[in-house]
């Protein structure tokens, strides 16, 4: 059995949808999807149909796009619950799962963002501030999403591979002078996530969101992003599944 990873597959774009459908038979393998499939629940379900037909195990954690509520009648936290229930009902794995001697640990996350929002803490050009809707409570979203992982924060005896959508450290981003969107660090990093990765003793952590693919060792953790990207961001219209581990070896 092989473990692969990908993120930011954005199957609401027809080019990306076609690429996902072209994945070959991996019926003995597992796939981690580190968020940002689509904000449409219909497209989300159809994408799960495709991936579950191709892989024995599909691991998943929602990204920010999934919590946009353009066609959803309740708030973003209600939508999160709806998505998790969809995953549970169809066998998409969103909680710790042991594959032989390896623990695969999904970690919910959001970047550090205090709510309720006001005009002083909104980045106007960032879609989350316009397409997400939060309850009228005084919380920090990084803290709230991190609290969803608390029951899984323990020492694991075996090899730990964790994954999230957001980034645990700014070290995974280039210097802002090289970024097209200079404020990306403000809407990418969860300091809560960084602490949790250390607590569970993760050796490999998969992430997404920034659309900047990485495979780098930082503080004894191997961090990997393998984003499919938007069609306009790819030089070639092709998909690469990142091999993380051959579990049978």
pLDDT tens for each residue of the chain, 249 residues long: 999 999 999 999 999 999 999 999 999 999 999 999 999 999 999 999 999 999 999 999 999 999 999 989 999 999 999 999 999 999 999 999 999 999 999 999 999 999 998 888 899 999 999 999 999 889 999 999 999 999 999 999 889 999 999 999 999 999 888 998 999 999 999 999 999 999 999 999 999 999 999 999 999 999 999 999 999 999 889 999 999 999 886
Helices (H), 22-153: 41-54, 76-90, 128-131, 141-147
In angstroms, rounded to a whole number, what is the distance separating the alpha carbons of residues 30 and 38? 21
On whether the CB atoms of residues 190 and 147 are closer than 8 A, the answer is no
Write down the residue that tokens 């920034």 correspond to: 210
CATH number where 63 lies: 3.60.21.10
Q: CA 75 from chain center: how many Å?
A: 20
| Total domains in the fold of the chain | 1
Residue-range definition of the domain harbouring residue 183: 2-246
């Amino acid at each position: 059995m092989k473990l692969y990873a990908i993120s930011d597959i954005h199957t609401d774009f027809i080019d990306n949808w076609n690429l996902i459908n072209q994945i070959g038979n991996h019926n003995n393998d597992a796939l981690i999807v580190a968020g940002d499939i689509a904000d449409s629940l219909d497209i989300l379900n159809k994408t799960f149909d495709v991936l579950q037909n191709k892989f024995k195990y599909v691991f998943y954690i929602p990204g920010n796009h999934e919590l946009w509520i353009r066609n959803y009648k309740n708030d973003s936290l209600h939508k999160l619950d709806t998505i998790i229930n969809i995953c549970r009902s169809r066998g998409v794995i969103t909680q710790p799962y042991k594959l032989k001697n390896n623990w695969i640990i999904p970690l919910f996350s959001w970047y550090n963002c205090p709510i309720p929002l006001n005009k002083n803490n909104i980045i106007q050009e960032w879609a989350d501030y316009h397409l997400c809707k939060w309850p009228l409570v005084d919380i920090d979203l990084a803290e709230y999403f991190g609290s969803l992982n608390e029951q899984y924060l323990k020492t694991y005896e075996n090899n730990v591979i964790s994954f999230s959508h957001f980034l645990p450290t700014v070290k995974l981003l280039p210097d802002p002078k090289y970024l097209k969107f200079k404020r990306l660090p403000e809407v990418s990093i969860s300091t809560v996530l960084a602490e949790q990765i250390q607590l569970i003793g993760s050796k490999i952590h998969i992430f997404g969101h920034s659309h900047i693919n990485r495979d780098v060792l930082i503080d004894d953790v191997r961090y990997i992003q393998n984003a499919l990207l938007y069609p306009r961001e790819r030089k070639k219209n092709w998909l690469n599944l990142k091999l993380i581990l051959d579990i049978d070896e």
